[in-house]
Structure 1
C-alpha cells in the first residue's frame, strides 16, 4: 500500500504531457473523485472529442491517420456546427478524416477488487468495451471505454470529396454521439459516487457484515442439506457452485 501511494504521489506531480496540457473540464470533478481515493490513480483521460485530422503527407498511411503524426485542423470537446468543419476543411492540404472519439479513462488500481468495482460501474453506465489488465509486475490497470466511435474521410489532397449537405448530416450524427457520450459520463460519475458511498457504509456497519455473513452461511448450509436429500438444485445455484470450486476463475479477466 505504501509503495502504491508513493508512486501515486509521483505520478500526480508530473506535468500533463497531453496536447491540451490539462484535464478536460467536463470530467475534472470525476478525475478528482478518483484521485481522492487512496486506491485509485488516473493515468490518462479524454472527455470525448470531435476532430478533423490531417495526415502529414499524401500516402503517409492512407486514411488511417496516426495520432502522433497528424495535425488537427479542428478539435472540440463540445458539440460543433457544420460551419466549424467547413471552415477547418478550407485549411486542408492533404487527406483529412472527421472523427468522433468517445470518453476514455485509464486508472491504475491498488488491488484487483478495486479495478473490479470500477469495471462494474463502467459496464452499468454503458461503457461496454471497458476492461482490466494485470501486468507481469502486478500493475493493475482499469480502462473505461466504449465502441460508439465515428471516423469518415472527407478530403483528398486538399479537395473536398463530399457535399456540404453530407458534412451537415455527418456533424448531426457526431453531435448525437457526443450527447450520448456526455450522458454516459454523468451516469458513470453518479454510479461511482453511489458505489463508493455504499461500500463505505458497509465497511462501517459491523452489524450488517455479521448479518451478511450469517445469510451466506445459512444459504450454503441449506444448499448442502438439499443436495443430501437428492433434490436437484437450480441452474443458478449450480453455476455459483462451479464458480466457487474453480481455482482458475478469479485469475483471468476477459472484458
Structure 2
C-alpha cells in the first residue's frame, strides 16, 4: 500500500467533511494553528478545541461525570463571569459540574517522524500529556493535551452544595487556567512556525539525506498560507469510529512530568 497516496486520500476526505461541532466552526484561539497544520503536506487536523469553561447538569456515576444526555447550562471559550454561573445554576435539576478543559488537538501525521516533530513542539509548549498513536494501517495520530484541568461538583439533585463565595473562588481559578492555556497555545504556534522554518533550511541543505527514525527534534517545512479547512472537537466520536477498521493499535503515551 502506498501510504503517501493513502494519507492524501485521508486528508482530502477529512477536510471536505462538514463541521459537526456544537459551535460549527474552529475556535478563534486555535484557528491559526489549525490553518497552519492543514496547510502542510504532512499534517491535517481531525478535531480541535481551544479550551473552555463549561457548566454541565447531569449525573455522577462514582467519580465519573456522565456527559451523555447531560444538559449544557453554560459554555464559554473566554474568561467566565461569576454571575453567569450563578444564573445558569438556577436551571440545574441534577448534579451540576463546573469544568475547565484545556486545549485538545488531534492531528493525523503522514509518518512517525512527522508526529515526533509535532510532539516535540507540543512538549516544548507545555502540553506534556501529549502522545502518539500508531495503527496497523499506517494511521499515525498525535494528540496534543495538557492536564491543567478543573472539575468540581456544585449541586446535587438540583440542590446547591456550595456558597456563592466558593463559586466566585472557582471561577477565578478557572479563568487563571484559561489564561495559562492561551499562553501555551501561543507558544505552540510560535514553536510550530520555528520548527517548520528550520526543517525547510535542513531539507534544502541536505535534500537527499536519509532521515533517522529515532526520536529527535526535527522540524518541518516552511508554512504556506493555510487553507482554513477544519473539523472540530465534537467530531471526536467520528474519528474514533473511523479507527475501528484499524485494529491492533499500539499507543505510546508521554505523560506530564509534574
Question: After TM superposition, is the score higher than 0.5?
Answer: yes
Paired residues, what number? 213
Partner of 2:232: none
**Cα deviation code 1:172-204 (max 9, x no counterpart):** 011100000000000000000000000011111
Contact (CA 8 Å) 1:63, 1:97: kept in 2 or not? no
Larger radius of gyration: 1
Comparing 115-124 and 21-30, the one that deviates more = 21-30
Across the aligned residues of Structure 1 and Structure 2, the Cα RMSD in angstroms comes to 2.2
Query: Gaps spanning 5+ residues in structure 2: where?
Result: 210-249
SS in 2 for 1:20: coil
Q: Does 1:17 align with 2:36?
A: no
More helix by share: 1
Partner Cα separation in structure 2 for residue 79 and residue 49 of structure 1: 9
Partner Cα separation in structure 2 for residue 65 and residue 252 of structure 1: 25
Partner of 2:77: 77
Partner Cα separation in structure 1 for residue 191 and residue 15 of structure 2: 24
**Cα deviation code 1:40-68 (max 9, x no counterpart):** 0100110000000011xxx5635632223
Tell me the TM-score normalized by structure 2.
0.78
More strand by share: 2
Partner Cα separation in structure 1 for residue 17 and residue 29 of structure 2: 21
Tell me the TM-score normalized by structure 1.
0.79
Contact (CA 8 Å) 2:129, 2:253: kept in 1 or not? no
Deviation at 1:135, TM superposition (A): 1.1
Partner Cα separation in structure 2 for residue 156 and residue 60 of structure 1: 9
Name segments (4+ residues, structure 1) moved above 3 Å.
Answer: 251-254
Question: Of 29, 36, 39, which aligns to 1:36?
Answer: 39
Question: Of 6, 9, 25, which aligns to 1:3?
Answer: 6
Partner Cα separation in structure 2 for residue 48 and residue 152 of structure 1: 17
